[in-house]
Amino acid sequence: MKLKKLFFILIPALMLLVTPLIIGQTNKKEALQSQRDQISQKIKETKALIAESEKNQKLTSNQIAILNEQIRYRENMIQSIDQEMVSLDLNIKHNGQQIQDLEFQLQSLKNEYAKMIYQAYKNRSSYNQIVFILASSDFYQAYKRFKLMQSLGETRRKQVAIIKETELKLQEKIGFMIQSKAEVAQLKQEQEVVKLEINQDKIAQQSKLQSLKKESSALRKQQKKQESDRKKLSNKIQEVINQELAAERKREQEKANKAKELIKNATTGKTEKIESPKITATAKSSSAPTKIELAPEVLSMNSNFENNKGNLPWPVSHGAITSRFGKHNHPSLEDIVLNNNGLDFTTKQGETVLCVFSGTVSSVFSIPGAGYNIIVTHGTYKTVYSGLAQVSVKVGDKVNAKQSIGSVGMTDDEAVLHFELWSVNNIKGTAQNPESWIKRK
C-alpha cells in the first residue's frame, strides 16, 4: 500500500518535471528550423544572383564573390544541421531514460496490482466479506470495515487507470524516440547533399577562376576604375563632412563672439539686458578648432542610432554581401588587395534601396560611370548609398527607416549597391564597419 501511495505522488511530479523539458526541446527545435529556413532562403537568393549574372554571358569577379558567399551559407547550413542533430541526440537519450523509468514504474504498478487481485481472489466470497463486517465488536467498527471494503475496490480501479496512463505515456515516448531517430537520419542525408553542393560550387569556382585569369588585364583595368570611383566617393563624403563641421564651428564661434561682446559691454558700464548665451568654446589660437557642442536633438538621435547597433536593416531586401569592410584579397586577382570603406551588396538591377535609419538627406550627387550617390545624416552618424540608377529623395528631405530612397543600377555589367557608415567627431569622419551595425543574415 505504501508503494501505491508513492506512485500517486511520483507520477504527477514526474509529469511536472518532464513538461518544461518537452516545451524547451520543442522551442529549440523550432529555433533551429527557423535558422535553417533563413539560410535556405539566402542560398536561394545567391543561386538566383548567379543565374542572373550568367544570363549576361560575361564572366565577372563578382560571380566568384557570390559563389564564395554561397559556399559560406552552405557551410552555415551544415553547422545548423549539426546543432539540430545534437539536439535530437540529446532528446533521444532523454526519451530513452524516460522510457526505462516508465517501464520500471509500469512493472511495479502491475506487480502491486497483481497483489491486490490475489488478495481480492482470496476474499472473493461475498459471504466472507459479510462475516468480516458482522464480526465487528460494534456499529462503528462495522462501518469502518464496510468503508474499507469499498476503498479496496476503488483503489483497484484507480490502479488500473494509473497503469493505462503509464502505458500510454510509455508508447508516446517510444513514438517520440522513433520520430527523432528518423529525423536524425533525414538530417544526415540533407547534410550529405549540402556537402556535395559545396564540392560542386568549389569546382565551378575553380573553373571560373581559370577563365578569369585569361581576362586579367581587363579585370585590372576595371579594378583601377573602381578604385578611382571609390576615391571620388570618399573625397565627396569627407567634403560633405568638412562643410557641415565648418558650418557648425562657424555657429559656435558666432555664439562665443557674442558672449565676449556681452562681457565687454558689461565691463564698460553698458547695462543693456541681453540674455548671455552659454560659451561652449574659445578660440585661443587660429589653428585650434572650435569645440562643437551637440544639440539635444542630435544627442538623442545618436543615442537611438547607437542603441540599434547590430539591428539596422539591410539597405536592400534581397542580395548577398560580395565585398566586406577593410582590407582583403581580390576574389580573382591574387596580387590585388582591396580596401573597402563599406560593404558591397550584389543584387538585381532595379532593386529598391532602403534607408537603414531615420535621418536627413545631406547630399545627392553622381559620379560618371558609377551612378548616383546619397548621403543621409543621423546625428553625428552618416550612411552612404552608392551605385544607384535612380534617386527618389533630395537634399534636406527627412527620411524614415526602411524608406525607399532609390534603385540599384548596373555598373560594369553588375548590379551592386555600395554601402558605407561613417562616424563624425569635431575634426573628421571615420568609416565604420557596417556589418557590425546591420542585422546578421
Q: What is the DSSP letter of 435?
A: G
Distance CA 415, CA 393 (A): 20
What pLDDT sits at residue 275?
A: 47
Lowest mean pLDDT across 71-85, 109-123, 244-258, 283-297:
283-297
pLDDT tens-place string over residues 117-168: 666 555 555 545 555 555 667 766 666 666 666 666 666 677 677 777 877 8
Distance CA 384, CA 391 (A): 13
pLDDT tens-place string over residues 291-340: 556 667 777 778 899 999 999 999 999 888 988 999 878 776 677 788 88
Residue 285's SS3 state is coil
Domains and CATH numbers, the chain: 2-213 (1.10.287), 217-436 (2.70.70.10)
Between 72 and 278, residue with greater pLDDT: 72
Grid cell 488500473 in the structure block, residue: 160
Within 10 Å of residue 245's Cβ, how many Cβ atoms?
19
Residue 160's SS3 state is helix
What pLDDT sits at residue 278?
A: 47
Q: Which helix (H) or strand (E) holds 267?
A: helix 216-267
Contacts with 38 (C-beta within 8 Å, 6 or more apart), sequence order? 441
Distance CA 388, CA 255 (A): 40
Distance CA 383, CA 420 (A): 6
What pLDDT sits at residue 153?
A: 62
Indicate whether 9 pLDDT > 70. Answer: no
pLDDT tens-place string over residues 336-386: 788 889 999 999 889 999 999 999 999 999 888 778 999 999 988 999 999
Closest to 283 (Cα-Cα) out of 300, 310, 307, 260: 260
What pLDDT sits at residue 113?
A: 65
Q: Is residue 218 very low, low, confident or very high in pLDDT (cuts 50, 70, 90)? A: confident
What pLDDT sits at residue 187?
A: 86
- Furthest CA-CA distance within the chain: 127
Contacts with 320 (C-beta within 8 Å, 6 or more apart), sequence order? 42, 45, 46, 49, 66, 69, 70, 345, 346, 347
What is the crossing angle of helices 2-55 and 139-213, to 10°?
20
